Amino acid sequence: MKNDTRLTALAASLPATVPFVGPEAQERARGAAFTARLGANENGFGPSPTAIDAMANAASEAWMYADPESHDLREAIADHHGIDPQHIMVGEGIDTLLGLVVRLFVGQDDPVVTSAGAYPTFNYHVAGFGGALHTIPYTGDFEDPDRLIAKATEVGAKLIYISNPDNPMGSCHDGKTIKRMVRAVPEGALLILDEAYIELAPETAVADIDPNDPRVVRMRTFSKAYGMAGARVGYAIGHPDVISAFNKVRNHFGMSRIGQAGALAALADTDWIATIREKIADSRAEISAIALDNGLIPLQSATNFVTIDCGRDGVFAKALLDALVDRGIFVRMPSIAPQNRCIRVSCGPIADMRAFAAALPDALLEAEAAFTHE
């Protein structure tokens, strides 16, 4: 059935694609499992042992719906940040919260501003709700707060998106720069500050933002530093009016009891987070050393991945990515030039680092041959 006339005009105009092709789909296509899963920015070191225990214990309660208000978790998150729970909304990961913000604030053809090549799931939501996406290029390997604000002012944007630290480049701005950006948000716009990786960044990257500021909503997650990507737990921090608006459109029973229990335990285990920061810092150093040993240039990272400049263009980087995948190493790359001259490698256990190091030299030779042939 090529054209289902029951679809809305907007739905009919959209491609039936997903923002990312998952590693499982790639494994099915290649007929073999990956040796090292280093492409999805997952935390291969895993969750806190206490979080694992809490989720295991909660599994026996999976017959019950979760508390639709996520009351205990919201209270704990608010206490963690030293703010009132009215500033916190819990949701099924940042991806779901991004979709809810777009749904709340963007109508047909409303302008939205982001960086070309930034996190594509946000763009997916904007297209899905009929918004008009306006992009500005990166400045070097950084999203550009000043140019984002200038474009938002020019087009009368309803939403502005920036991630700090950035995905896919791993770069970050200091908190003072982000705070200046918030102050410059034009009238009628809302800044979405995606801080998925902030727990892994230097303390100077954390912006001191008043949670009562109506110009910004901040997004955090348990997927990265806390190692719970599969549990789907994220939260928004914002003005009470913005936070309350989520209740108009969210899936009130979208959270699982298991995810809530795991997040509560993970948040309390501060020793584990300190350990994870050390493990990820060591892994970033290892990935960088492997890149340098092979004549590639690792970019400085404030995240749980390292973006590696392959020194050519997107054609060469794609050839290298394909060669690594053929050797059982799952990695990804940015989608937009000039960032697509790079590949992106997630941090992980030493066995994964060794597998990457073993595969990279031959993968580079294959990519060089393919690039020369082109």
Matching residue, tokens 């989720």: 55
* Domains in the chain with CATH codes: 9-46+271-373 (3.90.1150.10), 49-269 (3.40.640.10)
Sheet strands (E) in 45-196: 88-91, 111-115, 132-136, 159-163, 190-194
Single out the residue of 178, 151, 153, 150 nearest to residue 163, CA to CA: 178
Please name the helix (run of DSSP H) or strand (run of DSSP E) that holds residue 346, with its range, or none. strand 342-346
| Three-state secondary structure call for residue 16 | coil
Instruction: Report helix angle 49-58 to 257-268, nearest 10.
Output: 150
Q: What are phi and psi of 50, to 5 degrees?
A: -70, -30
pLDDT, one tens digit for every residue, the chain (374 residues): 466 789 999 999 999 887 788 999 999 999 999 999 999 999 999 999 999 999 999 999 999 999 999 999 999 999 999 999 999 999 999 999 999 999 999 999 999 999 999 999 999 999 999 999 999 999 999 999 999 999 999 999 999 999 999 999 999 999 999 999 999 999 999 999 999 999 999 999 999 999 999 999 999 999 999 999 999 999 999 999 999 999 999 999 999 999 999 999 999 999 999 999 999 999 999 999 999 999 999 999 999 999 999 999 999 999 999 999 999 999 999 999 999 999 999 999 999 999 999 999 999 999 999 877 65
Single out the residue of 287, 280, 271, 286 nearest to residue 302, CA to CA: 280
Predicted TM-score of the model (pTM): 0.96
pLDDT at 4: 74
